[in-house]
Amino acid sequence: MSIEQDRDAYIPGFAYYDDNIALLRATLEQLLRRTGHLDSMRMLSLGVGHRYVVKGLIDSLGARLKRHVIVEGSPDIIELFNSEIAPPAHVELVHSYFEEFTTPERFDVIEMGFILEHVDDPAFVLRRFREFLAPEGRMMIAVPNAHSLHRLIGYSAGLMKDLHTLSEADIALGHRRYFDPAQLDELLQSCGLEVVGRAGLMLKPLTTSQLKSLSLDERVLSAMNEVGYALPEICNGIFVEVRKCD
């Protein structure tokens, strides 16, 4: 299936672009911390999106990244990627829907940051890509959290009818759903995956416009991210590191 998304939502000028980049910055930091012990790795990435994470992985992992396959179903997003970066020889960009992608290769790390909220059937995607893990491989997943602190506060204040409600920005980005922590754990378990690590992404107590109005010091924003890593239940995003169940 094709992810329905607005190309303009993935470039500067989109109202929540900076917000999304902050979330992806936290995701990239978790990926780098959790692969720091690997001297070399074969990696599979689902999606290009804002290009921030895949570019960060290529730049930061350097020679440790022996092979990097990136699967992307949107021609528009591929065009954006190719206009911004000339990938090195060990990076291969594959135009394919996630549900149709197949490969004989097995990967040490499969990263799917903010993918499962887009697809028709998250369980199908998880089970399919589980088969591409190397025996000791890890899948690293990030999803938006329906129980983010700012959503919990908005719901309690009567500003939201449901914690899982999608905004106009969500729809522009091609989102189909939010996950709450219990839902995510249940989904992973049903797909034969065991959580071995967990982190929160971007502690967000207020809405984007409210936070911008405060003009917070960059050190405060960085500290909120660092504190948030230990609070996955209430952060804007949930990051999990999983392996195949024995």
List pLDDT tens digits, range 116-129. Answer: 999 999 999 999 99
What HEC string does the chain produce?
A: CCCCCCHHHHCECECCHHHHHHHHHHHHHHHHHHCCCCCCEEEEEECCCCCHHHHHHHHHHHHHEEEEEEEECCHHHHHHHHHHCCCCCCEEEEECCCCCCCCCCCEEEEEEECCCCCCCCHHHHHHHHHCCEEEEEEEEEEEEECCCHHHHHHHHCCCCCCCCCCCHHHHHCCCCCCECHHHHHHHHHHCCEEEEEEEEECCCCCCHHHHHHHCCCHHHHHHHHHHHCCCCCCCCEEEEEEEECC
The mean predicted confidence, pLDDT, of the chain is 90
Amino acid symbol at 210: Q
Q: Supply 107's token pair.
A: 């990967």
Judge whether residue 9 has pLDDT over 70: no
pLDDT value at 12 more than 60: no
Quick one: pLDDT at residue 22?
82
Span 4-11, mean pLDDT? Answer: 50
Question: Which CATH fold topology does 7-244 show?
Answer: Rossmann fold (3.40.50)
pLDDT of residue 23: 87
Question: In the prediction, which pLDDT does 15 show?
Answer: 53
Among the listed residues 184, 186, 146, 149, the one whose alpha carbon sits nearest the alpha carbon of residue 165: 146
What percent of the chain clears pLDDT 90, i.e. is strictly above it?
69
Buried b (16+ CB within 10 A) or exposed e, 158-167: eeeeeeeeee
Query: What distance in Å separates the CA atoms of residue 211 and residue 221, rounded to the nearest whole number?
Result: 10
- Contacts of residues 123-127 at CB distance under 8 Å and 24 or more positions apart, as own/partner, are 123/187, 123/190, 123/191, 124/99, 125/46, 125/98, 125/99, 126/187, 126/188, 126/191, 126/193, 127/191, 127/192
CA nearest 202: which of 16, 77, 14, 13?
16
Looking at per-residue pLDDT, the higher value among 222 and 132 belongs to: 132
Q: How far apart are CA 134 and CA 41, in angstroms?
A: 11
The predicted model gives 57-67 an average pLDDT of 95
Percentage of the chain modeled with pLDDT above 70:
92
Q: How far apart are the two ends of the chain, measured CA to CA in Å?
A: 31
**CA atoms of 52 and 89, how far apart (whole Å):** 19
* Domain residue limits, the chain: 7-244
Mean pLDDT on 205-210: 84
pLDDT tens across 173-188, in order? 788 999 999 999 999 9
Mean pLDDT of 98-105: 96
* Average pLDDT over every residue of 65-70: 96
Mean pLDDT, rounded, for 211-217: 88
Quick check: 60 pLDDT over 70? Answer: yes
pLDDT exceeds cutoff 80 at 3 = no
| Contacts of 165 by beta carbon, 8 Å cutoff, 6+ apart | none
> What's the pLDDT score for residue 58?
93
| pTM, two decimal places | 0.90
pLDDT at 233 over 60: yes
Q: What is the pLDDT of residues 19-42, one digit of tens each?
A: 778 888 999 999 999 999 999 999
Q: What is the C-alpha separation between 201 and 184, in angstroms, rounded?
A: 15
